[in-house]
Amino acid sequence: MKFSTAIIAVCIATTIFFGRVSTAHANDQAELLFDCKMRDAVRVLFIGNSFTYYNSLPLTLAALVMDSKTQPPVTVAQIVWGGAHLQEHYKKGGARKTIAQDGPWTYVVLQEQSHTPIVLPDEFLTSVQQFDYDIKKVRAMTVLYETWADKAAPEDQSALTAAYTKAANQARALLVPVGDAFAKCSREHAEINLYNPDGKHPSREGTYLAACVFYAKLFGRTPVGLPSDLTLYDQDTKQNLKLFELPAATARTLQQIAFSVASSR
């Protein structure tokens, strides 16, 4: 894969963005986080903000896929900066350029700023439609990353779900119902904290849950039984890079919730 925007890392990111922003995030640059360097790879581009780069959702998904040993391999990239709206991504142009020139992509994931689908629904729908045109033009699939309500306002989830569902139906896009999985886990397993102390961003458990929902929807397989100790193999250094580890029982509960929600939507 040859990126026209800056390549931050090849094979695996030397710096993993666990809850912080690099200067590249503000410059509309594409970051190649993990490249398995295989022709049959599923290639996933994430476009969004901190709900994507916190704990590195793309790398967490890549680790689940590569550790499963039953999936096609995966390459993941992202274009992200804190608080970004999809309309900002569209107007800046870097995301559109990456979609058009740096593929081929299998999936392009769109993640809107957390409250925009509710407070600016027309902007959200327009942004999805605009990106969907560019994505379909290169024969990739549009994926909508349904996010979650703030911890202090769980009642907002129904509106978020409705907004993402409407956008997905209009664009005939694949919906990944992460927000619904958060809601189910919070109702049924309050002992598992899915949020960072700010009550907005995901904890590692939250990111793991999100990655399991993506795994189920993108690959059509259950995440139940996947590792709770996430690593990625760096082909350059010939070493395993550890991302993070969850207690096995917690990981299994999150896997089961993810598959249940993914199978029902």
The confidence score (pLDDT) of residue 235 equals 75
The confidence score (pLDDT) of residue 27 equals 63
Cα(179)–Cα(147) distance, rounded to whole angstroms?
A: 5
Q: CB under 8 Å to 234, separation ≥6 — which residues?
A: 11, 12, 240, 241
Cα(75)–Cα(66) distance, rounded to whole angstroms?
A: 10
pLDDT tens for each residue of the chain, 265 residues long: 444 333 333 333 333 333 222 334 446 889 999 998 888 999 999 999 999 999 999 999 999 999 888 879 999 999 999 999 999 999 999 999 999 999 999 999 999 999 999 999 999 999 999 999 999 999 999 999 999 999 999 999 999 999 999 999 999 999 999 999 999 999 999 999 999 999 999 999 999 999 999 999 999 999 999 999 999 987 777 788 889 999 999 999 999 999 999 999 8
Helix/strand/coil for 138: coil
Phi first, then psi, for residue 10 (nearest 5°) are -120, 145
Helix/strand/coil for 236: coil
Q: CB under 8 Å to 119, separation ≥6 — which residues?
A: none
Q: CB under 8 Å to 49, separation ≥6 — which residues?
A: 80, 81, 82, 83, 84, 111, 113
Q: CA angle 48-51-55, nearest 5°?
A: 115
How far, CA to CA in Å, does 15 sit from each of 20, 23, 53, 125, 216? Answer: 10, 12, 12, 34, 27
Cα(77)–Cα(34) distance, rounded to whole angstroms?
A: 7
The confidence score (pLDDT) of residue 203 equals 98
In this prediction the pTM is 0.91
